[in-house]
Amino acid sequence: MIVRIDALPIVLEARRVVVAEVIGGYHGQAQLGRWWLPSGPLGEGEQPGDAAIRIVKQQLGLELEGVVVVGTRQAKVGDAWHLALAVAGAAGGEPDPRHPVSGFAARTLAELPDQVGFWHRDDVAVLVARYERLRG
């Protein structure tokens, strides 16, 4: 069984969420320019948090540091199961989007569309608040 990891990095210091603009056909989305999440398969023996760090680096060129998984959910897309992660941490490095990502943005919570991948904007706001309380 292939499990894909969908990573939603939350850069708390700037209160921004990193999202990717993906090429049409990604996760069954036919239209171009849909904001989605960096995504990739979970490697054999790989931990989900480590996969999220790897995927964000490979697809967006960003290094995630001090990563903490703050939310998870699963969803079936076609025959494959997806594990959607929300990870909080600091993003460093230079953005360098690569296939299947066609662009990228760091958006504030208010700038997010209602739905980003498997996450609703309100869910993301709750995860950010929860993590900030744990951190403080």
Structural domains of the chain sorted by starting position, each given as residue range(s) with its CATH number in brackets: 3-135 (3.90.79.10)
> What percentage of the chain exceeds 70 in pLDDT?
73
For the residues 1-19, what does the mean pLDDT come to? 62
**More reliable by pLDDT, 5 or 110:** 110
What length is written for the chain? 136
* Residue 115 backbone dihedrals phi, psi, to 5 degrees: -125, 130
* 8 Å CB contact between 34 and 19: no
**More reliable by pLDDT, 14 or 25:** 14
CB atoms within 10 A of CB 52: 28
Rounded to the nearest 10 degrees, how much is the dihedral formed by the CA atoms of 3, 20, 67, 17? -130
Q: Any idea what DSSP says for residue 58?
A: H
For the residues 78-105, what does the mean pLDDT come to? 78
For the residues 93-113, what does the mean pLDDT come to? 78
Q: Where are the beta strands (DSSP E) in the chain?
A: 3-11, 16-22, 34-36, 39-41, 63-77, 80-92, 101-108, 115-116, 119-120
Biggest CA-to-CA distance, the chain: 42
Q: State pTM to two decimals.
A: 0.73
User: Exposed, middle or buried by CB within 10 Å (0-12, 13-18, 19+), for 66?
Assistant: exposed
For the residues 112-129, what does the mean pLDDT come to? 82
Q: Which of 17, 3, 107 is nearest to 51 (CA)?
A: 3
**What band does 66 get if pLDDT is binned at 50, 70 and 90?**
confident
